[in-house]
Structure 1
Amino acid sequence: MKNLRKEFPVLSHNTYLNTASSGLLYDSLLNFRQEHDLDFLIGGSLFRDHQQGFLNNVRKTIASFFGSSNDNVVLTPNFSLGFNTILDGLDRNKKVLLLDEDYPSINFAVTSKGFNVCYATIDATIEQNIENAIQEHKPDIFAFSLVQYINGIAIDLDFLTLLKVKHPNILFIADATQFCGTRAFDFNASGIDILGCSGYKWLLGGYGNGFMLFNHQVLNQITPSSYIDAATKTNYDSSYTSLQARYECGHLDTFNFGSLQYSLNFLNKIGIATIEDHMNKLCEYAKSEFTKLNLLEENVVKRQKHSTIFNIEGDQELHSHLKKHHIITSLRGSGIRISLHFYNTKEDLEKLLDILHRYR
């Protein structure tokens, strides 16, 4: 992993612990992007002649990486646009289960559209809280982040798979932006009906790209009948009228989606199992050391498994102090968010811990 750090110029002068805010641009991706635009510069509209084949190849790469089928991959500039398009096609009388304090792109999107809403609490027993809320409120839809953006609490994937077996009629919609790229994942075996992700964090795809994965037949189930009826009565090309066209309306940027594909291939070369193993060891060390310093909330300490995101006790003054020492983090919630990727090392954490010891 240490050899790969040379790909990321930011790391030569910063201890970068902020992937949950933005993944990094790296040298070989920059080369791809420059060559892409050079081809566009030289070719003009001729450069776009093969865009459909190119974008289909992007979908295949996404499907292969996440265990989906090509036909059920939709390209979207970001998770939020895809999620709002889904909500716009759903009956407002549906009851939606949310997690309290989940990402605003989920919770505000649902509540602002007038859905009937109920909540489960995010704490050390989040899985039990979800199950209790389903028993009590009997929702039609469960919309949630796989990993909480403030404190990093992650819903157990095996729990979700079993939960779907128990409640096959509930539509599970997951935001995986803070998850995808941190460990191996098989969408088709997950029990999740719809999974969305923006590509600019752990996937290192840069901004302006994302995707939605749909389980078999789900696109048909959530497409308004009025849309389907209109599509059958027109002679327009299917690129305007297909079920996917609701999400992929207008032009798709080969620069942005090509960047996502390039980075998925980059991660594949490293090996997602290798990344997962590295992250597990690094995050176990981080949790252990943060716990010793009493920097983590009790709900996180009590969890057996955790994600790549931590929120440690701290304020604006500490955040500025860390930045002064070239340690890049984010202020989130009531503390300072630390987030780790494969380009981080134990030495990065030791530098942070040393600064924290001396600061305190």
Structure 2
Amino acid sequence: MKNFRNQFPVTSQYIYLNTAATGLLSEDVFDYRQDQNLDFLTQASMFRDHKANLLAEVREALASFYHADANKIALTPSFSYGFNILLDGLAKNTKVLLLEGDYPSINLPVEARDFDIVYAAINENLEENIKKAVEKYQPEIFVFSVVQYVSGIKIDLDFLKELKENYPELLIVGDGTQYCGTETFNFKESGIDILGASAYKWLNAGFGNAFFLFKDHAAEKIYPKTIGFGSNIGKYKQTENALIGKFEPGHLDTSNIGSIKQAILLQEKIGVELIEEQVKKLSVKAKKAFEKLNLLAPDVVNRKTHSSLFNIKGSDELFIFLTNKGVICSQRGGGIRVSFHYYNTEDEIEKLITLIKNFSK
């Protein structure tokens, strides 16, 4: 795993614990983007002709990677872009279940529309809270982040399968931006009906790209009005009024969208199972270390499993101290958010703990 740190030059300069904010750009993806720009510079319209199959190739790479259907994968510049199209395809007064304090790019667009909105609390009893809210309010749609951006609390994917079995008409829509790229995931076998994600974080695909995976029945509940010349052009979009075409009304940046495939190829080269193993190992080690120093909220401590994203107790002064020591992290939710990906090491966790202890002396 250490050999692949060479793909990410930033790791040689800093202790980079900020993938939850921005994932590192690999040399493979950087080289791909550079080559794309050079080809465009020297080929102009011929470049576009040569890239006619690119979107299909990216869909196929995602379909293989996440066990989804290529003809039900939409490509967008960001999660928010696609999510707003999705919401505009829902009927007014649709009853939507949200999580209190979920990522603003989820809750704000829902709250800005004429939906009937209900909420469940995010805490150590997350799944039970959701179950009770569904039983009480009978929502038509449940929208949530797979991993919470402030606390790092990760929803139980087995719970979602059970929820879907018990409420088959409930449309379950997940934001995987803080999740996709951290472990193996089988979309077809999951309880999620629609999964969207920006790919610049844990997939390390750079900015300007995202994707949405759909199951068959999702098209029966969403009717986006968005349409353009690009909506019915290209492989997998030739059926008139195809759902994924509604998410792609115009041109997409081939360099940005193509980076998704390059990022997937790198993860496959490393081994997704190895990435998952490393991320989980770092998560367990960090959680134990933070618990000993009483740096975690009870909601996180009392969860059986957790993501590799943590919000630790810490003042502005501690944040500045860590930053000055070369630790790249973020301030979120009144604390300091640190996140560990496969290019991080156990030694970096130990260095972070030592710095925190030294600051406290």
Q: TM-score normalised by the shorter chain: which range applies?
A: over 0.9
CA contact (8 A) 2:94 2:116 kept: yes
Deviations 1:82-126, CA, capped at 9 Å, x for gaps = 111011010121110000000011111101112111111100010
Aligned to 1:281: 281
Secondary structure of the residue aligned to 2:221 is helix
In 2, Cα distance between equivalents of 1:267 and 1:69: 20
Aligned to 2:328: 328
CA contact (8 A) 1:315 1:331 kept: no
Aligned to 1:42: 42
CA contact (8 A) 1:18 1:339 kept: yes
TM-align CA RMSD: 1.7
Aligned to 2:303: 303
Aligned to 1:8: 8
CA contact (8 A) 1:309 1:337 kept: yes
CA contact (8 A) 1:220 1:243 kept: no
In 1, Cα distance between equivalents of 2:241 and 2:355: 57
Matches within 5 A, 1:79-158: 79-158=79-158
CA contact (8 A) 2:226 2:247 kept: no
Deviations 1:269-298, CA, capped at 9 Å, x for gaps = 111111111111111000000000000000
Matches within 5 A, 1:190-229: 190-223=190-223
Matches within 5 A, 1:207-356: 207-223=207-223, 238=238, 241-356=241-356
After superposition, the Cα gap between the structure-2 partners of 1:242 and 1:50, relative to the gap in structure 1 and judged at 3 Å, is: farther
CA contact (8 A) 1:92 1:115 kept: yes
In 2, Cα distance between equivalents of 1:262 and 1:348: 27
Deviations 1:107-162, CA, capped at 9 Å, x for gaps = 11101112111111100010000000011111111000000000100000000011
Letter in 1 for 2:266: F
In 2, Cα distance between equivalents of 1:331 and 1:165: 38
Deviations 1:320-344, CA, capped at 9 Å, x for gaps = 1100000000000010001010000
CA contact (8 A) 2:28 2:262 kept: no
Aligned to 2:27: 27
CA contact (8 A) 1:84 1:109 kept: yes
Aligned to 2:176: 176
Secondary structure of the residue aligned to 2:92 is coil
1:238 deviation in Å? 4.9
Give the fraction of aligned pairs with identical amino acids, expressed as a percent. Answer: 47
1:13 deviation in Å? 1.1
CA contact (8 A) 2:89 2:225 kept: no
1:317 deviation in Å? 1.4
In 2, Cα distance between equivalents of 1:18 and 1:3: 20
User: Which is worse superposed, 156-165 or 242-251?
Assistant: 242-251
In 1, Cα distance between equivalents of 2:251 and 2:81: 15
After superposition, the Cα gap between the structure-2 partners of 1:310 and 1:225, relative to the gap in structure 1 and judged at 3 Å, is: closer
The unaligned stretches of length 5 or more in structure 1 are none
In 1, Cα distance between equivalents of 2:226 and 2:353: 58
Deviations 1:225-268, CA, capped at 9 Å, x for gaps = 998xxx99xxxx95985322221011011100111110111001
In 2, Cα distance between equivalents of 1:186 and 1:226: 29
In 2, Cα distance between equivalents of 1:54 and 1:225: 25
1:187 deviation in Å? 0.4
1:32 deviation in Å? 1.4
Secondary structure of the residue aligned to 1:179 is coil
CA contact (8 A) 1:240 1:249 kept: no
Letter in 2 for 1:179: Y
In 2, Cα distance between equivalents of 1:325 and 1:216: 50
In 1, Cα distance between equivalents of 2:224 and 2:248: 16
CA contact (8 A) 1:184 1:272 kept: yes
Aligned to 1:60: 60
In 2, Cα distance between equivalents of 1:104 and 1:332: 13
In 1, Cα distance between equivalents of 2:226 and 2:351: 58
1:221 deviation in Å? 2.8
The unaligned stretches of length 5 or more in structure 2 are none
Secondary structure of the residue aligned to 1:296 is coil
In 1, Cα distance between equivalents of 2:185 and 2:295: 30
Letter in 2 for 1:247: F
How many residues were matched structurally?
353
1:188 deviation in Å? 0.6
After superposition, the Cα gap between the structure-2 partners of 1:167 and 1:239, relative to the gap in structure 1 and judged at 3 Å, is: closer
After superposition, the Cα gap between the structure-2 partners of 1:247 and 1:269, relative to the gap in structure 1 and judged at 3 Å, is: same
CA contact (8 A) 2:145 2:175 kept: yes
In 2, Cα distance between equivalents of 1:40 and 1:224: 32
